[in-house]
Structures are given as C-alpha cells and as structure tokens.
Chain A
Amino acid sequence: EPEVTQTPSHQVTQMGQEVILRCVPISNHLYFYWYRQILGQKVEFLVSFYNNEISEKSEIFDDQFSVERPDGSNFTLKIRSTKLEDSAMYFCASKSSGGNTGELFFGEGSRLTVL
C-alpha cells in the first residue's frame, strides 16, 4: 500500500540552526500539507501546498518557515533559525484530489528537538 514517508525520524539541533524536514508524498497525490504536534498537545495545521505554491498557511507558519517541492517527488519543510518552541513532531500529509471530502494520508512524522 502506498504511503507517505518522512525523514529524518528524529533530529536534534541547537537553537538558531537551520533544519530541513523531508517528505515523499504518495506518488499520484497533488495536495501536500505540514502539521505539527507539540508533545501532549493537539495536531496543528502549518501549511498546504498545491501546484508548486502555498495554498494556505496558518499563523504558526511565519517567516522562519518555508516549503518547497524541489524535484517533483520530495516536499520539504525548512525552519531557518530554530527556536526552543519549535520542538515538536512534524507530520507531512498528502491528498489525491481537490475538494472537501477526501482524507489526508499522513507520514509517521519527524521529531524535532531543539536544545
């Protein structure tokens, strides 16, 4: 069964460092998302991406964050200068088609620890 894959599974970094989290969505999917889950808290929307551009972004997704799809298969989330509060599990998700009714398929997450 096709699945969303994410790397790394866990990254530890120093505050102020740049981090890139990578995702390979399901191959025929067109819509891509990043969510995050701070330990013990709810899953929060960061950004959605379609047709090589950001569709929507939440207030969490500030100028420190960026996304891109560099090669048609990978979908990356970059945090330019990490803060302690960026420590969280980051989930990538993809969806096959537009509209409101389809479900999102999630990867297993990348745990980011900022020291």
Chain B
Amino acid sequence: AQSVAQPEDQVNVAEGNPLTVKCTYSVSGNPYLFWYVQYPNRGLQFLLKYITGDNLVKGSYGFEAEFNKSQTSFHLKKPSALVSDSALYFCAVRDRLYGGSQGNLIFGKGTKLSVKP
C-alpha cells in the first residue's frame, strides 16, 4: 500500500538558514511525489512534484526537493529560509488504491515549519 511519512511534527529554523523538511514514502512501482504548503486559514498550494527525470526538483518560492530512491525519501529543502515560509507542509504520493489513475493523492500528516527572525 502507498504511504507517506513525515517524521517531524515541527521544524524550527532561523531566518537565512537552510531548511529541510523530511518525507519518506512507501509505494509499489514508480513513485509520483508531491509537496504542498498550507498557510494559516488557507487551502493547500502546490509547491513541486517528482514524476521522472532529475532527482533534484525545483518548485515555487525557491523550494526544491531531492528524490532519493535508495532511501525512499523526498525531502523538501530551501537554501535560505524566510519568516514568510512559516506554514504547514505536506508531502503526498499518488494513490494507486483509490483512483490512482484519476490522480488522487495520499498525504502525510504534515510538518509545521517555523522560521524565526
């Protein structure tokens, strides 16, 4: 069965420092992986995705994620954090049980990123 794990409930980073939000996955077959961000009282916004090709994927707002097949990980990274990056971040994998061909996603439990000035 497909699943996604985000081992950290919260990540605290000082502004200007690099940040990493961790995600590991378990899938059968090729993984299709996504990162979404949720700002307070807002919906989920798409950040980036890995489908195939380069392991380093670049996305919105300066974020990138590295797909590592051997470690089954898809960690979200940013070289220099901003206070405005503070939000809830969700990793997701394509759901092959429920409507995988229709694009449905399974989400991790989310990681709260807090960037302090």
Contact = CB atoms under 8 A, between A and B. Distances in A.
Interface of A: 4, 6, 31, 33, 35, 41-45, 48, 50, 55-58, 91, 93, 95, 98-109
B74 to A, nearest CB: 14
Contacts, number: 73
Interface of B: 32, 34, 36, 41-46, 49, 51, 90, 94-95, 98-110
B63 to A, nearest CB: 14
Given A45-B95, A103-B46, A98 B102 contact: yes
A55 B110 contact: no
Nearest to A43: B107
A45 to B, nearest CB: 6
Contact of B99 (A42, A56, A93, A109): A56
Contacts of A35: 107
B102 A48 contact: yes
A98 B32 contact: no
A41 B103 contact: no
B98 A98 contact: no
Contacts of A4: 43
Contacts of B90: 42-43
Given A42-B107, A42-B109, A45-B106, A99 B101 contact: yes
22 contacts: A35-B107, A42-B110, A45-B105, A48-B98, A48-B102, A48-B103, A48-B104, A58-B98, A95-B102, A98-B103, A99-B103, A100-B94, A100-B101, A103-B34, A103-B46, A103-B49, A104-B46, A104-B105, A106-B44, A108-B41, A108-B43, A109-B42
* Interface-central residue, B36, B43, B101, B105, by most chain A CB under 10 Å: B43
A7 B4 CA distance: 30
B52 to A, nearest CB: 8
Please give me the 4 A-B residue pairs with the lowest Cβ-Cβ distance, nearest first: A56-B99, A108-B43, A106-B44, A43-B107
A6 B100 CA distance: 24
Contacts of B102: 31, 48, 50, 55-56, 95, 98
